[in-house]
């Protein structure tokens, strides 16, 4: 989720608990072998054995359309000892699709197969290679064909976002189609798309047949969602409160101030508040108070006025 679930928010959300693994924002591969610093910039967790501060593994994700170039970059990345490498066959962004990347590849299952096979050959067998796909580009008529191409070419796991590129992020997600895909491949399939609460998670698992879920925007909106889902499976009640979110907000702001340039800080903070206000009325109040703010000092003053300056566990600095 480019521009949203970056390493800063990964750090914070994995502190809450319930998350078993993360996938990074995509790293765009064109026609060059990227230097190590690019991988470290997008996935600084590589400097911490591929783990977030809370100890959750992060798989870097590669996006491109050239099998040989992707393989070369996967080999470079493998030398940095990631806990896995993921391939993007699902990004719906027009600029990405226009250059033949992301979901546009779903119209070319043969090329998808070549990409996965090339990357798998380039990466040591102890490093898992996974892929994420949508159901298709304009329609889902080749969904099973693409999934078979991915599985038969050596991928260890497949995440399926249950919408086409044409569907974008509009509800609903077609979770039952994931069950169709599971029926034709022999690797683990993970369900993704439109999971905002426990009821969505249960319905998704029922229709897809998947025992593992990937959640994205739902957890940005509700940081306790993964815990809520796991506790529901155990028959336990769990719900995060605004009081439990406030220390996370302060930790997030500290990391933003440590990691981002000054002009980007308030926008990044308001971006998360904008998601949180869909779940918490208190976040709506906070968002409206800071909506026109562009000065980081005003955010500091806002925290001070609310008396929420709670000592944060500072993540190790990476350079």
pLDDT digits (tens, 9 = 90+) for 167-210: 999 999 999 999 999 999 999 999 999 999 999 999 999 999 99
- Assess whether 29 and 80 both reside in one domain: yes
Distance CA 4, CA 268 (A): 8
Phi, psi values for residue 133, rounded to 5° = -135, 160
Residue 159 belongs to domain spanning: 7-233
16-20, 104-108, 225-229, 231-235: least confidently modelled range: 231-235
Which pLDDT score, from 0 to 100, does residue 71 have? 98
- Assess whether 71 and 146 both reside in one domain: yes
- Assess whether 90 and 183 both reside in one domain: yes
- Assess whether 111 and 249 both reside in one domain: no
Other C-beta atoms closer than 10 Å to the C-beta of 268 total 21
Average confidence (pLDDT) over 141-146: 98
Domain boundary among 173, 198, 233: 233
- Assess whether 253 and 167 both reside in one domain: no
The answer to whether residue 87 is domain-embedded is yes
The answer to whether residue 56 is domain-embedded is yes
Which pLDDT score, from 0 to 100, does residue 307 have? 65
Instruction: Work out how many domains the chain is built from and give that number.
Output: 2
Domain boundary among 197, 213, 233: 233
Residue 277 pLDDT exceeds 90: yes
- Assess whether 252 and 212 both reside in one domain: no
Active site residues: 91
- Assess whether 152 and 273 both reside in one domain: no
Which pLDDT score, from 0 to 100, does residue 308 have? 47
**Among 122, 147, 127, which Cα is nearest to 135's?**
147
The two structure tokens encoding residue 31: 């026609």
Domain boundary among 199, 233, 267: 233
Assign residue 261 the CATH number of its domain: 1.20.225.30
- Assess whether 228 and 279 both reside in one domain: no
The answer to whether residue 310 is domain-embedded is no
**Residue 299 buriedness (CB in 10 A; 0-12 / 13-18 / 19+):** buried
The answer to whether residue 313 is domain-embedded is no
SS3 sequence, 55-123?
A: CCEEEEEEECCCHHHHHHHHHHHHCCCCCCEEEEECCCCHHHHHCCCHHHHHHCHHHHHHHHHHHHHHC
Q: Residue 57 in contact with residue 34, Cβ under 8 Å? A: no
Position 83 confidence tier, pLDDT thresholds 50, 70, 90: very high
Which pLDDT score, from 0 to 100, does residue 319 have? 39
For residue 143, give every residue at least 6 positions away whose Cβ sits within 8 Å of its Cβ, in sequence order, or none. 106, 133, 135, 136, 177, 180, 181
Q: Which pairs with CB-CB distance under 8 Å and at least 24 residues apart come from 277-285? A: 278/221, 279/221, 279/222, 280/242, 280/245, 281/242, 282/242, 283/242, 283/245
- Assess whether 184 and 278 both reside in one domain: no
Assign residue 178 the CATH number of its domain: 3.20.20.70
- Assess whether 214 and 113 both reside in one domain: yes
Residue 312 pLDDT exceeds 60: no
Q: How far is residue 263 CA from its own chain's centroid?
A: 25
The answer to whether residue 311 is domain-embedded is no
Which pLDDT score, from 0 to 100, does residue 3 have? 67
- Assess whether 72 and 30 both reside in one domain: yes
């Amino acid at each position: 989720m480019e521009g949203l679930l970056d390493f800063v928010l990964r750090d914070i959300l994995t502190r809450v608990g319930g998350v078993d693994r993360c996938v990074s924002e995509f790293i765009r591969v064109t026609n060059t072998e990227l230097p190590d610093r690019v991988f470290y910039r997008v996935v600084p967790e590589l400097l911490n054995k591929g783990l977030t501060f809370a100890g959750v593994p992060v798989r870097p994700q590669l996006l491109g359309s050239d099998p040989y170039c992707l393989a070369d970059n996967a080999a470079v990345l493998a030398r940095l000892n990631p806990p896995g490498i993921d391939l993007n066959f699902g990004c719906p962004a027009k600029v990405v699709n226009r250059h033949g990347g992301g979901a546009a590849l779903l119209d070319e299952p043969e090329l998808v197969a070549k990409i996965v096979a090339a990357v798998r050959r380039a990466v040591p067998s102890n490093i898992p290679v996974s892929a994420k796909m949508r159901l298709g580009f304009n329609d889902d008529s080749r969904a099973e064909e693409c999934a078979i191409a991915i599985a038969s070419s050596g991928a260890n796991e497949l995440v399926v976002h249950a919408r086409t590129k044409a569907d974008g992020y509009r509800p609903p997600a077609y979770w039952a189609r994931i069950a169709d895909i599971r029926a034709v491949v022999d690797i683990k399939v993970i369900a993704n798309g439109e999971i905002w609460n426990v009821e969505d998670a249960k319905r998704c698992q029922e229709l897809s047949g998947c025992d593992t879920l990937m959640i994205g925007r739902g957890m940005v909106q509700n940081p306790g969602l993964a815990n809520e889902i796991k506790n529901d499976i155990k028959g336990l009640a769990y719900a995060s409160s605004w009081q439990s979110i406030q220390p996370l907000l302060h930790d997030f702001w500290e990391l933003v101030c440590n990691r981002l340039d000054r002009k980007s800080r308030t926008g990044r903070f308001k971006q998360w508040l904008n998601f949180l206000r869909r779940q918490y009325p208190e976040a709506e109040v906070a968002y409206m108070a800071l909506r026109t703010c562009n000065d980081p000092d005003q955010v500091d003053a806002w925290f001070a006025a609310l008396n929420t300056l709670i000592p944060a566990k500072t993540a190790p600095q990476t350079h």
